Amino acid sequence: MTALFEHASLAEAPQKTGASVNALRERGQREVFCGLTGIVWLHRKMQDAFFLIVGSRTCAHLMQSAAGVMIFAEPRFATAVIDERDLAGLADANEELDKTVQRLLKRRPDIKLLFLVGSCPSEVIKLDLSRAAARLSQTYAPDVRILNYSGSGIETTFTQGEDACLGALVPELPQDAAADAPALMVVGALADVVEDQFRRLFEALGVGPVHFLPARTVDRLPPVGPNTRYLLAQPFVNDTARALEDRGARRIAAPFPFGVEGTTAWLKAAADAWGVDAATFNAVVEPPRARATKALQRYREALSDKSVFFFPDSQLEIPLARFLSAELDMRLTEVGAPYIHAAHLREELSLLPDGVRLSEGQDVDKQLDRCRAAKPDITVCGLGLANPLEAEGFTTKWAIELVFTPIHGYEQAGDLAELFARPLIRRTRLQI
Ligand code: SF4
């Protein structure tokens, strides 16, 4: 569901960041999807995993409507609805959960990894899902691993569900002999087609072995150790990064692989860490870089000099704003992000134009006023804001679509530009 949350109000504090941009910190009412939404893309990525949401009817409805946007093969998620009960009823709730898991695993022997996903209704918060996961693991190990994480909508944005899920996986990553060898780990769910493209590029560069987190199947979970270097593919997996560092892995600092420049800089950071020479690097990346540059050219006319306003939602806002500004000459009126991780976003922030208005957190009414005043050509926002803004005559882009769609890497650069160009072109046609 789209939820409104009221937070203790902090004074708005314009700040300077490392990129010499003004950042406005807001802690007011915000409009976001909850972390359960991550299951929609994670269940497609992890082919032998199942996500059992322990939640309310509201959670079940959210998942139905979010997943209903995209219909795929047999879904690998379900909701165990926990009804209102008092603390005395907790023993029953645990028993019901055990029975549900038993029925599920009997019916679906293909499940090798089961996530118990917590939610925010009070009757669920009372249940200790980490103990439930430990208890059930004793029964079903080694055939099925059972882990838990929270997709609760309190204090999170929808992409943090993926961060919580991957964070739960980190203790499961093997630390065997393979973990002692130098290796690259790419962190953050990517569409399989994108993962394959990156794997081929890294192989051609001589960077590797390369592992991806999440892996497609549980038997391919990447090893981790002090010689693991990792590259973030998504800007929202901050807790996962911290957990990897606790296990000895070290981050390769880079912008994110969106657009031609972001992808080139991301690959270059890994190539430099592996000591790849400039001639080899250029020879490998030049053909896809040229294809991507040509693909972007098609959308330049529609996007150049158009203004864009980002409401905070997916945590992709800063890298995407950099892409739209640097590669398509769009004007940034405000770039709102739910949370700005200064270290992980340092390279991105340094590539933003000077003077751009950056905001962190949200006070939705004030931000709507700023958006109305800015009159952007396109507004990137959550579903809850898109319809009212469209009714007021604004052209909008759903932030969630940017997470559902493959947008990373050279071959997807044109598709990424098209996601922004399409609503603008449609609006122009409607006005003719
Ligand atoms: S976890 Fe909370 S915010 Fe998310 S659908 Fe369930 S009740 Fe709504």
The CATH number covering residue 353 comes to 3.40.50.1980
So what's the pLDDT on residue 218?
A: 95
Domain boundary residue among 256, 282, 308? 282
pLDDT higher than 60, residue 116: yes
Residue-range definition of the domain harbouring residue 52:
35-152
Q: Are residues 138 and 181 in the same domain?
A: no
List strand residue ranges (DSSP E) for 34-144, in order: 49-55, 77-81, 113-118
Residue 368: partners with Cβ closer than 8 Å, 6 or more residues away: 385, 389
Q: Is residue 163 part of a domain?
A: no
Does the CB atom of residue 150 touch ligand 1 within 6 A?
no
Q: Are residues 299 and 420 in the same domain?
A: yes
Count of domains observed in the chain: 3
Q: Are residues 43 and 79 in the same domain?
A: yes
Q: Are residues 83 and 103 in the same domain?
A: yes
Higher-confidence position of 28 and 417: 417
The position carrying tokens 């405000």 is 334
- How much distance in Å is there from the Cα of 65 to the middle of ligand 1? 13
Q: Are residues 293 and 406 in the same domain?
A: yes
Does the CB atom of residue 119 touch ligand 1 within 6 A?
yes
Q: How far apart are CA 111 and CA 49, in angstroms?
A: 6
Q: Are residues 123 and 48 in the same domain?
A: yes
Higher-confidence position of 140 and 4: 140
Domain boundary residue among 253, 282, 311? 282
pLDDT higher than 90, residue 29: no
- How much distance in Å is there from the Cα of 59 to the middle of ligand 1? 5
> Is residue 229 within 8 Å of residue 273, measured between CB atoms?
yes
Does the CB atom of residue 326 touch ligand 1 within 6 A?
no
Q: Is residue 247 part of a domain?
A: yes
Q: Is residue 416 part of a domain?
A: yes
Q: Are residues 307 and 263 in the same domain?
A: no
Q: How far apart are CA 279 and CA 293, in angstroms?
A: 20
pLDDT higher than 70, residue 88: no
Q: Are residues 119 and 145 in the same domain?
A: yes
- How much distance in Å is there from the Cα of 139 to the middle of ligand 1? 29
Q: Are residues 265 and 235 in the same domain?
A: yes
Q: Are residues 24 and 75 in the same domain?
A: no
pLDDT higher than 90, residue 429: no
The position carrying tokens 């994108």 is 194
Higher-confidence position of 111 and 125: 111
Q: Are residues 338 and 422 in the same domain?
A: yes
Does the CB atom of residue 59 touch ligand 1 within 6 A?
yes
Does the CB atom of residue 153 touch ligand 1 within 6 A?
yes
Q: Whose CA is nearest to atom 5 of ligand 1?
A: 59
Q: Is residue 250 part of a domain?
A: yes
Between 88-102, 163-177, 277-291, 406-420, the lowest mean confidence (pLDDT) is in: 88-102
Q: How confident is residue 86, by pLDDT bands cut at 50, 70 and 90?
A: low
Atom of ligand 1 nearest to the CA of 151: 1
Q: Is residue 319 part of a domain?
A: yes
Going across the sheet that includes 378-381, the strands are 15-16, 22-27, 357-362, 331-337, 307-310, 378-381, 396-398
Question: Quick one: CA dihedral 28, 32, 36, 41, positive or negative?
Answer: negative
Does the CB atom of residue 38 touch ligand 1 within 6 A?
no
- The fraction of the chain above a pLDDT of 70, given in percent, is 89
Domain boundary residue among 152, 169, 199? 152
Q: Is residue 76 part of a domain?
A: yes
Q: Are residues 137 and 60 in the same domain?
A: yes
Q: Is residue 241 part of a domain?
A: yes
Q: Is residue 159 part of a domain?
A: no
pLDDT higher than 90, residue 73: no
Q: Whose CA is nearest to atom 3 of ligand 1?
A: 153
First-to-last alpha carbon distance for the chain, in angstroms, is 36
So what's the pLDDT on residue 87?
A: 54
The preferred substitution site among 5, 82, 119 for testing ligand 1, maximizing ligand atoms within 8 Å of CB, is 119
